[in-house]
Structure 1
């Protein structure tokens, strides 16, 4: 049975591994026994052991964290996301090109450099339409 490792469980696992180690080495079968004791896989126990040894090698106090909180989709602040106002502008420009071609599908999509216009604050909300189109 596998389960999600919390920070407290990872810290308890690290302390148990340290108690079983001698001079930074574990005896054969210790990882398997500790994995059965905590109800984890040997791979999870090995990952916690290697992470702890790596932090001890850097002469940093070994605080072993689970790392599961960093997984998944990253949350972005609402102020950092750009509003989706350019789709209407794209649709208008494509419709203008279709009308210029007389309704056929041989039109070319115009590139408007929307990023540059948006950064300069000159992005139009509507496009001018010719009367002849």
Structure 2
């Protein structure tokens, strides 16, 4: 995928990121819907009020597994912490904390790499962008 398309994908992923909790909520739903089963894991935090009301709760963690990279976002009281893990056959080779912008760039690059080798991944990206 050309670099320009990766930049456009990153820009689309950044869209509406001003309200981080809402952004993570929408992004996790879009990724879970667009990517293959098992590629996205979402952990939710539910308050007592949310439990009593039967609501699912807010996103506490978002994990996206693409190839040998796992990209994680953790929400804690309105703050977002990103992490990129490079893992091969169950062995973690590197783990580094990143800010949200770097996390989005890494996600865009990983999605673009997956799209270059898979028609299904390409369709998933097109669904994310529309």
Same fold judged by TM-score > 0.5?
Answer: no
**Bigger CA radius of gyration:** 1
- With the shorter chain as reference, the TM-score category is under 0.3
The TM-score with structure 2 as length reference comes to 0.25
The TM-score with structure 1 as length reference comes to 0.25
